[in-house]
Amino acid sequence: MTETREAVIKVRGLRNQFGRQVVHDNLDLDVWRGEVLGIVGGSGTGKSVLLRTIVGLNKPAKGSIEVLGVDVLNAPDIERREVETRWGVAFQDGALFSSLSVLNNVMAPMREHLDLSPALMKALGELKISMVGLPPLACGKLPSELSGGMRKRAALARALALDPQIVFLDEPTAGLDPIGAAAYDELIGELQRALGLTVFMVTHDLDSLYAICDRIAVLAEKRVLVEGPIEGMTEVDHPWVQEYFTGPRARAAQVKGQATGQTGAG
C-alpha cells in the first residue's frame, strides 16, 4: 500500500434500496491506491450490491461515488466511459460470453474501447491469458470447455484487458477446491504487486483475507461497520465480527497464513 494513502474510490452517504428493502444506508468507504481491500459481511449485507453500484450496474437511491477523481454518478457519458476503461471486473460466475472463445472474450473490451489492429489485439489477448496462468491451448476454447478454476482465470484475463488501475473481484475463490483457491490467491497477489493494482475484493474466504488483503471492510447494519487490518478485527465488539474472526475457521486461516508467510499483498 502506498504511504500517501490516495483514495482512488470514495463512497459517501450511499443508500441502496430495492422497494422497501434498504440494503445500505449512509454508507461511507475509501479505497486506497495500491491496496487489496477485502469486503466481508453476513448474508444480505449487500457486498456484491456495493460492488455493482460502484461500477455502475446498480443506481443508488442516494449518495456519491468518486472513482479515480470522477463523479461516476453524474459525469458526462464520455467522461464516464473513459474512467470505465481504467477498471476491470471479474464476477463470481465469470460472466463470459458463452458463444465466444476465451481469446475473443478477452479481446471484447479492446474491440469496444481501443482502436487497434486485429493482430495487435490478438497478441495482447494472448498475453493477458498467459499472465493469469492459462496455457495457450485455452485461447481457442469456449467457456463451457473450461473447468471452474480456468473460467475464473479467463474472467480475470478479460478484467485485465485494458490495463486497468483497479480490479473488482466478486467472490473470486467461490466454488474452488482449497488448492485451486490458494493458487488463485497467489495469482492475485502476484499480479497486484507486478502491476501496481488496487484490488476491491468481495469474499467470504478467510484464507483469502489472511493471504492477500491489506485491509478489511465489514458490512453490517447497512453500512461499513468497521475497516482496518485483519489483525484488529478480533477486537471489534460486534456479534457477527466476533463469530467470523475468532471462530475455528478463522484461527485455522490465521495459522495457515502465518505458516506460509502471507500477511497481505502490500
Q: Cell match 492477500: residue?
A: 212
Q: Is 59 exposed, middle or buried (0-12, 13-18, 19+ CB in 10 A)?
A: exposed
End-to-end Cα spacing for the chain: 5
Radius of gyration of the chain (CA): 18
Rounded to whole angstroms, the Cα distance separating 245 from 242 reads 5
Q: What residues form DSSP beta bridges with 37?
A: 200, 215
List, for residues 47-106, the tens digit of each pLDDT value: 999 999 999 999 999 999 999 999 999 999 999 999 999 999 998 776 899 999 999 999
Alpha helices by DSSP H, listed for 132-230, are: 148-159, 178-195, 206-212
Rounded to whole angstroms, the Cα distance separating 204 from 170 reads 10
Task: Calculate ∠ Cα 63-81-200, nearest 5°.
Answer: 60
pLDDT of residue 5: 84
Task: Please check whether residue 84 is in contact with residue 123, taking contact to mean a CB–CB distance below 8 angstroms.
Answer: no
Q: List the CATH code of the domain at 7-229.
A: 3.40.50.300
Longest dimension (CA), the chain: 57
SS3 content of the chain, % helix, strand, coil (to 5): 40, 25, 35
List, for residues 99-147, the tens digit of each pLDDT value: 999 999 999 999 999 999 999 999 999 999 999 999 999 999 999 999 9
List, for residues 12-45, the tens digit of each pLDDT value: 999 999 999 999 999 999 999 999 999 999 999 9
List, for residues 210-263, the tens digit of each pLDDT value: 999 999 999 999 999 999 999 999 899 999 999 999 877 766 666 666 555 554
* Domain layout of the chain by residue ranges: 7-229
